[in-house]
């Protein structure tokens, strides 16, 4: 853990609220992160907004204590949560990933946190926040002359579009919800494999394939019928879905077919993205990049193979991994807050 000895430098905080944990970081006014590792507490989102906001207060107290920073030096809070939510931080009226309880539907979490903590609060969804941080890490001083599209494979599919170093939010803040773009899944499904359905209700969108939920609900149940002697038959489906990555790292044939389908879905998404934004970079993050280096490189290569770019775009575009994934959301939220104040 880094600490800041100056009593004059002001800071912003980055807060990433997830389904199980809320983590925090500190960014000084000169753009230096003062936290090297994870500082987190249970998110308590399943207990409703009041409990989740108290968890945010708790993680802020923890990160300030660990860095030795007085609360009076905090200029603002950058907050992110899973989407969909609008640009002001109002959770979708139909709920959102990890915020499915009705108490969250239409809830203004940005305003709630600002009122609870008494500090200006700037909101982004988690996909946009992670995409912003990944963009900065990749392009550095050239970030404001570059564009990128990021896809973060987790429980759902987080994503973000960055143009000239800025998050594309759209008129209502719903831009970048790339997980809910329908793709031609007939290109990637095996013969007889059912079209997967997303939690949002759509059939054949990107998230229905490229997510842990997609593995649990659709991909793994189908592929287990094709491999009747596979050891994952002996596990409950929730546990088995999480275990697939380990099998993939070890070269298991069935697991590699599942991850190839996920890479194919991301490739189809990036192909669509290339036609409306033509970015300089396509970034992939999520649990798959926390895997063994050989496996994550294989996965990124598969995404690139399944992405169809025009020759002119292919000559300049690059495929890369989202770095510091566990901290990317909080760090991106902090960067957005510093830029906004």
The average pLDDT across 182-211 equals 94
Instruction: Examine the pLDDT at 67 and tell me if it is beyond 70.
Output: yes
Res 18: pLDDT: 87
Q: d(Cα 181, Cα 175) in Å, to the nearest integer?
A: 11
Report the C-alpha gap between 248 and 263 in whole angstroms. 13
Hey, what are 314's tokens?
């292919």
**Integer CA distances (angstroms), 282 to 94, 131, 181, 316, in order:** 29, 10, 16, 11
Residue 303: both structure tokens together: 């995404």
- Answer yes or no: is pLDDT of 85 > 90: no
Give me the residue label for tokens 């100056």. 6
The DSSP 8-state label assigned to residue 215 in this structure reads: I
The pLDDT assigned to 201 comes to 87
Per residue in 206-223, pLDDT (tens digit) is 999 999 999 999 999 999
11-131+327-340 CATH pick, 3.40.50.1980, 3.40.50.300, 3.30.420.40, 3.40.50.880: 3.30.420.40
The pLDDT mean for the chain works out to: 92
Distance between CA atoms of residues 109 and 99, nearest Å? 11
- Asked whether residue 91 carries a pLDDT value surpassing 60, the answer given is yes
The string of pLDDT tens digits covering residues 264-322 is 999 999 999 999 999 999 999 987 777 888 999 999 999 999 999 999 999 999 999 98
> What is the Cα 160 distance to its own chain's centre?
8
Q: What is the pLDDT of residue 97?
A: 63
Instruction: Supply 308's token pair.
Output: 């169809």
Looking at residue 3, its pLDDT comes to 53
In order of 116, 203, 296, the CA distances from 238 in angstroms are 35, 21, 22
Does residue 6 surpass a pLDDT of 80?
A: no
CATH no. of 139-323: 3.30.420.40
Residue keyed to tokens 């107290």: 61
Which string of b and e fits 283-316 if b means at least 16 CB within 10 Å? bbbbbbbebeeebbebbbebbbebbebeeeeeee
Answer yes or no: is pLDDT of 95 > 80: no
Give the sheet arrangement for strand 40-42, strand by strand. 40-42, 21-28, 11-17, 74-81, 121-125
- Distances in whole angstroms, Cα of residue 252 to Cα of each of 152, 164, 249, 256: 23, 41, 8, 6
Task: Work out whether strand 157-163 and strand 166-167 pair parallel, antiparallel, or are unpaired.
Answer: antiparallel
pLDDT score of 177 more than 90: no
Of 233, 229, 207, which Cα lies nearest the Cα of 220? 233
Residue ranges per structural domain of the chain? 11-131+327-340, 139-323
Closest CA to 70 of 1, 2, 114, 11: 11
Residue 154 has pLDDT above 60, yes or no: yes
User: For a pLDDT cut of 70, what percent of the chain falls above it?
Assistant: 97
Q: In the prediction, which pLDDT does 292 show?
A: 87
pLDDT score recorded for residue 7: 64
The reply to whether 11-131+327-340 and 139-323 are identical in fold is yes
> Region 63-76: what's the mean pLDDT?
96
Query: What's the chain's Rg over C-alpha atoms?
Result: 20
pTM of the full predicted structure? 0.87
What's the pLDDT at 200? 83
Once rounded to an integer, what is the mean pLDDT over residues 37-63?
A: 95
Stretch 125-129: mean pLDDT: 89
């Amino acid at each position: 853990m880094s600490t800041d000895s100056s009593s004059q430098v002001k800071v912003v905080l980055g807060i990433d609220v997830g389904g199980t944990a809320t983590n925090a970081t500190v960014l000084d006014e000169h753009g230096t992160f003062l936290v090297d590792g994870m500082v987190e507490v249970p998110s308590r989102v399943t207990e409703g907004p009041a409990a989740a906001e108290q968890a945010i207060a708790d993680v802020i107290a923890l990160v300030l204590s660990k860095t030795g920073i007085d609360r009076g030096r905090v200029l603002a809070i950058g907050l992110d949560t899973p989407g969909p939510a609008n640009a002001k931080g109002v959770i979708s009226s139909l709920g959102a990933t990890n915020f499915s309880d009705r108490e969250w539907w239409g809830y203004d979490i940005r305003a709630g946190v600002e009122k609870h903590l008494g500090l200006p609060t700037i909101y982004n969804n988690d996909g946009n926040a992670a995409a912003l941080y990944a963009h900065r890490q990749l392009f550095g001083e050239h970030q404001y002359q570059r564009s990128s599209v990021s896809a973060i494979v987790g429980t759902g599919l987080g994503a973000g579009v960055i143009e000239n170093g800025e998050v594309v939010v759209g008129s209502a803040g719903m831009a970048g919800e790339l997980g809910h773009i329908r793709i031609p899944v007939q290109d990637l499904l095996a013969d007889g494999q059912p079209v997967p359905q997303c939690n949002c209700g759509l059939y054949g969108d990107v998230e229905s394939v490229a997510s842990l939920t997609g593995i649990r609900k659709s991909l793994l149940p189908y592929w287990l019928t094709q491999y009747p002697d596979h050891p994952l038959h002996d596990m409950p489906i929730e546990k088995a879905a999480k275990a697939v990555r380990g099998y993939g790292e070890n070269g298991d044939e069935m697991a590699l077919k599942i991850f190839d389908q996920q890479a194919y879905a991301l490739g189809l998404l990036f192909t669509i993205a290339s036609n409306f934004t033509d970015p300089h970079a396509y970034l992939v993050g999520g649990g798959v990049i926390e895997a063994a280096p050989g496996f994550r490189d294989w996965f990124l290569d598969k995404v690139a193979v399944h992405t169809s770019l025009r020759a002119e775009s292919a000559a300049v575009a690059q495929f890369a991994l989202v770095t510091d994934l566990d901290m990317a959301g909080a760090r991106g939220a902090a960067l957005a807050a510093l830029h906004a104040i």
